[in-house]
Amino acid sequence: MERRDIRNIAIIAHVDHGKTTLVDAMLRQSGIFRDPSQMTDRVLDSNDLERERGITILSKTTAIRYHDTTINIVDTPGHADFGGEVERILSMVDGALLVVDANEGPMPQTRYVLQKALSAGIKPIVVLNKMDREGARPHEVVDQVLELFIDLEASDDQLEFPVLYASAKQGVASVEPVLPESGSLEPLFETILREIPFPVGDETAPLQILVTTLEHDDYLGRMAIGRVTQGRVAVNQTVGIVDHDGAVRRARLSKIFGRIGLKRVELETATVGDIVTLAGLPDVNIGETITDADNPMPLPPIVVDEPTLTILIGVNTSPFAGQEGQFVTSRHLRERLLREQERNVALKVEETEDAEVFRVSGRGELHLGILLEQMRREGYEMEVSKPEVIMHKTPEGLMEPVEHLYLDVPDEYVGPVMELLGPRKAEMLHMGQAGPNQTRLEFLIPARGLLGFRTAFVNQTRGYGIMNHLFEGYQPYSGPIEETPRGALIAIEDGVTTSYALDNAQQRGILFVGPGTPVYAGMVVGENSRPTDLELNVCKKKHVTNMRSSTSDEAVRLTPPRPLTLDLALEYVKSDELVEITPKSIRLRKATLDKTLRKREKIQKL
């Protein structure tokens, strides 16, 4: 069966090269909105975190009509930490739009997502976006893209990729490297119809749908999203669900939905090539196959890269526990983490010997940080350990994950940046010009060496440096990397901070708290200027006397504290500390709050 009335495509790109903006333009020009001006920007980035950070975290599915053809579009994340989303989605589509910034050219994440597409046998259409911006260099960028295809060992057919030139912001595309003064995305739509293969399959064969994404509806419960590979599915049909072990369980479909624009459209049946959302499968999981109940034919399960980073998430045990959160028990944490694991295939959740602590492993700091931020916004309280890299024991010895690090830095900061990387076991691979007064540095660095590096890099380059990294593989353990010699300022008593005490404390380092902030003994209130920890009283009040001096009534001048965000806390936290996370606060604390016990533990380690 040939479905010439359908095209299934994914949109892949490096972060901030314009994927989601391009989808916006395609939706506006498809005619499915009565008033396109009412659409918000980045309409598919419905998650609050996605809008705040300007990145796509979860893959989204939409569909448009162009003439007599339905084009199913999947917007995918561009960051490698969310590669699990990309790998799943590519199993649903027959083609992809590779969006590349016409000024920046291919970037590290471009390489990552393109490699996934090529290995899946997909022939991409290359879209050079942001052609309206000054500095666009289309001819050079096309050559760079071709070199990238060759470097990734693309097939002869994949090397014959079509190229379009576009401005997603203006909603214009062209087959020539000069954009028309007025135009539309019609050249893009026509290229999709001409170049993207239409779905082909046997409608009479046993049903096969690989579950790639899960959604939740307050009325319908859990819903599975996937593409009909073969066969036909209908409402009220009894289907078989094949799990990862090959076991089959039966279920009855209550609803079938398709997509038009941002809305779900109820269907009676669906067949080869349709991307559908199925309700009535309460215990279905990602990677399972929905198939014929009497003649089950499972599809190969989805394989994603292994996690490289792990943290311990436990019940909040600080003196402030339970004051701000709604979900504070181990049962709440267990249910939430296991629920996340069901739809986030790149995440791994394990129970530990301590019933109140769970080991959570993911693809990187951003991957885990997004999960923690989502949980705190949902009302969860927890405490989190320092992120640790996952090592592999092999017959050849201990192996550790390594990353390919790409840095674009102003020329004057090259020396200081290289000094930062020396103690982190980084090995230089390449050094060259990235533009006027800009140097591009490439390193192979143990994943351990990247922990806490981003903040130091941003500070060292005054915010002008650009950093990207990709997982490269495993190599023999390269020896210990010392923690940054950074001491902590630690509160020694419970209470509320005062301006008088903070005025003395700020002379010792950088503060994380301002006046009037509740603190407890053992809480980290700042960074010491020396490499040792320092305990001090930040709640001390000025004694009132009957003596006056000429300076006694002068106002205290405090330096504004450094806001402790979740990302910063995960970089700052040391092995003997924890990050306390609540819906309203992010705090650093010593794992052992008692001062005497901390000293005893320190002596025992010596």
pLDDT at site 548 = 52
Mean pLDDT of 245-272: 88
Q: How far apart are CA 427 and CA 405, in angstroms?
A: 10
Q: Which residue type is seen at 237? A: Q
pLDDT in tens, 593-605: 998 898 888 888 7
Tokens coding 292: 């014929």
pLDDT in tens, 353-390: 999 999 999 888 878 888 999 899 999 999 999 999 99
Residue 77 has pLDDT above 70, yes or no: no
Residue 421 has pLDDT above 70, yes or no: yes
pLDDT at site 491 = 94
The answer to the question of whether 20 is labelled as a binding residue is yes
Question: 314 or 73: whose pLDDT is higher?
Answer: 314
The answer to the question of whether 21 is labelled as a binding residue is yes
Residue 56 has pLDDT above 50, yes or no: no
* Most confident listed range (42-51, 227-236, 450-459, 475-484): 227-236
pLDDT band at 50 (very low <50, low <70, confident <90, very high): very low
Mean pLDDT of 531-547: 81
Nearest to 378 by CA among 331, 311, 327, 313: 327
The two beta strands, 208-217 and 221-230, are antiparallel
Residue 87 has pLDDT above 70, yes or no: no
Q: How far apart are CA 85 and CA 305, in angstroms?
A: 11
pLDDT at site 606 = 67
Exposure of 551 by Cβ count < 10 A (0-12 exposed, 13-18 middle, 19+ buried)? exposed
Q: How far apart are CA 290 and CA 226, in angstroms?
A: 9
Cα torsion at 463, 464, 470, 473 (round to 10°)?
-80
pLDDT in tens, 178-190: 888 888 899 999 9
User: What's the chain's length in residues?
Assistant: 606
- Identify whether the C-beta of residue 374 lies closer than 8 Å to the C-beta of residue 406: no
The answer to the question of whether 18 is labelled as a binding residue is yes
The answer to the question of whether 439 is labelled as a binding residue is no
Averaged confidence pLDDT in the chain: 85
pLDDT at site 484 = 66
Lowest mean pLDDT among 55-59, 138-142, 285-289, 326-330: 55-59
Q: How far apart are CA 29 and CA 19, in angstroms?
A: 16
Catalogue the E-assigned strands of 67-168: 69-75, 95-101, 124-129, 163-167
Residues 6+ apart with CB under 8 A from 510: 526, 527, 529, 561, 562
pLDDT at site 585 = 93
For the chain, helix (H) and strand (E) counts, in that order, are 15, 35
pLDDT in tens, 29-48: 876 654 444 444 444 444 45
Nearest to 97 by CA among 190, 13, 200: 13
Residue 497 has pLDDT above 90, yes or no: yes
pLDDT at site 172 = 92
Tokens coding 72: 């199913």
Mean pLDDT of 535-547: 78
Mean pLDDT of 82-99: 76
The answer to the question of whether 411 is labelled as a binding residue is no
Residue 53 has pLDDT above 60, yes or no: no
Residue 550 has pLDDT above 70, yes or no: no
- Identify whether the C-beta of residue 557 lies closer than 8 Å to the C-beta of residue 515: no
Residue 344 has pLDDT above 50, yes or no: yes
Residue 510 has pLDDT above 80, yes or no: yes
pLDDT at site 253 = 92
CB atoms within 10 A of CB 66: 19
DSSP state of 380: B
Q: pTM higher than 0.85, yes or no?
A: no
Q: Which residue ranges form the domains of the chain, and what is each CATH number?
A: 6-195 (3.40.50.300), 208-292 (2.40.30.10), 314-383 (3.30.70.870), 392-476 (3.30.70.240), 488-578+587-605 (2.40.50.250)
pLDDT in tens, 161-177: 999 999 988 989 999 98
Mean pLDDT of 508-537: 92
pLDDT band at 555 (very low <50, low <70, confident <90, very high): low
The answer to the question of whether 594 is labelled as a binding residue is no
Residue 93 has pLDDT above 80, yes or no: yes
How far lies 413's CA from each of 261, 409, 450, 459, 462, in Å?
47, 6, 18, 11, 9
Residue 60 has pLDDT above 80, yes or no: no
pLDDT in tens, 189-231: 999 999 999 998 899 999 999 988 877 777 888 888 889 999 9
Residue 551 has pLDDT above 50, yes or no: no
Nearest to 591 by CA among 290, 377, 315, 383: 383
